[in-house]
Amino acid sequence: VMPKIPAEYLPTTDLYKDFLFSLKKENCLASYAEVGKTYDLGSGAVLEILSPSLDFGDNLNNYSVVSKLSFGEVSFLFTGDIEAEAEEAILAFGADISCTVYNAGHHGSSTSNTSAFLDAASPVYAAVSCGRNNDYGHPHREIVSALEERNITCFRTDYDGSIIFGSDGKDIFVKTAK
């Protein structure tokens, strides 16, 4: 599942070209993300597409596919690199973003993870994917503080290494490994 990006903003990087080549080589069909579409993953797990819902111009971060995985009483919100504009669009659309586990937007950047979005998500756990001492300073201090103020237990790849969340539909299991 990938975003439908206007032709004039399609990436031209070698990495993107390699991705498209790999899809073709493996005879793998990609589908465009459709807001509201759900995928039954079996055993009661359902993935719902929440974004992108608008044309975000040349801001490719906001075309990230945002999805919510629900399994029993537990849910995971995957936000990709969306920024505040896409968060606002998701909230305006009326999507239920409440979740147990929140994948912090754009590596914990202050361009994402707005108070309104965090309050609507109201997660128990957050995961931030970022490299140690990265050039962007991710996650930004104000986002770490916002998570702490909301008593959200935060795991970070720069400190914790690999982070694995598991669930039986009722409880969450977390394992980290450096």
Q: What is the pLDDT of residues 38-57, one digit of tens each?
A: 999 999 999 999 999 889 99
Cα distance from N-terminal residue to C-terminal residue, the chain: 30
Mean predicted confidence (pLDDT) in 125-146? 97
**pLDDT at residue 32 in the model:** 95
**pLDDT at residue 109 in the model:** 98
User: Which secondary-structure segment (H or E) carries 70?
Assistant: strand 66-71
Mean predicted confidence (pLDDT) in 153-170? 97
Find tokens 């629900």 and name the residue: 70
**pLDDT at residue 53 in the model:** 87
User: What's the predicted TM-score (pTM) here?
Assistant: 0.94
Q: Which amino acid is at 50?
A: L
Mean predicted confidence (pLDDT) in 105-134? 97
